[in-house]
Amino acid sequence: MTKLTSTQIAWRAAQDIDDGAYVNLGIGFPEMVAKFQPPGRQAIFHTENGILGFGEAPAPGTEDWDLINAGKKAVTLKPGTAFFHHADSFAMVRGGHLDVAILGAYEVAENGDLANWSTGPKGVPAVGGAMDLVHGAKRVAVITEHVTKDGKPKLVQKCALPLTGVGCVTRVYTSLAVVDIQDGHFVLREKLAGLSFDELQSLTGATLHLDGDVADLIVPEL
């Protein structure tokens, strides 16, 4: 079955970030979103360890390892970049000063609950700053595969894993679709053109609702 790559999912999520928005990207896969700022728009990226307005990753071999994000990845500085204590960084998060947080997920429930950490042997060992981000940011989006490696739905009626946040997710960008969460339901907004609604529903662990036309999910080759 044809599906979007991780890079293409990140590209699609980046298209919905407003110019000048203050944005926190989760560790790992979500960090890719920063590469795809639409022309004429520039987000201001925030990291929990105390940097605001940092730039792209440096070229290999030119890293300054005193300049890293929360995922311990090297970053560059831009004019106006600000540094601050991590306690001040979390005050920004908890104070509602971030416009968007984009995170990965193990599971997203139809009521907006998010599980993106696990106590299992291969899981993220602690909930970390995501717990604050999902309730501090004005908008919370998730980027993820639509199903797990063994074909189980990641969009579900109720999360089975420990929750990161309750009722916090508003949009999910998957390898097959773009789905909003409204009034406790998954609402389908976009899907791959070659995938029927019934096929998509069979891969989703809760009912997909329709609210108007469903657009084709179109992304460039990346």
Q: Dihedral sign, CA of 134, 135, 140, 145? A: positive
d(CA 122, CA 98): 30
SS3 110: coil
Catalytic residue among 48, 107, 110, 190: 48
Query: How far is the CA of 62 from the CAs of 52, 57, 144, in angstroms?
Result: 21, 10, 31
Contacts of 65 (CB under 8 A, 6+ apart): 74
Tell me if residue 63 is catalytic. no
In 3D, which of 174, 180, 170, 182 has the Cα closest to residue 203? 174
Place of tokens 């520039």: 42
d(CA 111, CA 151): 22
Q: Which long-range contacts does 206-212 make (Cβ < 8 Å, 24+ apart)?
A: 206/109, 206/110, 206/153, 206/155, 206/156, 206/157, 207/110, 208/179, 209/185, 211/182, 211/187
Catalytic site positions = 48
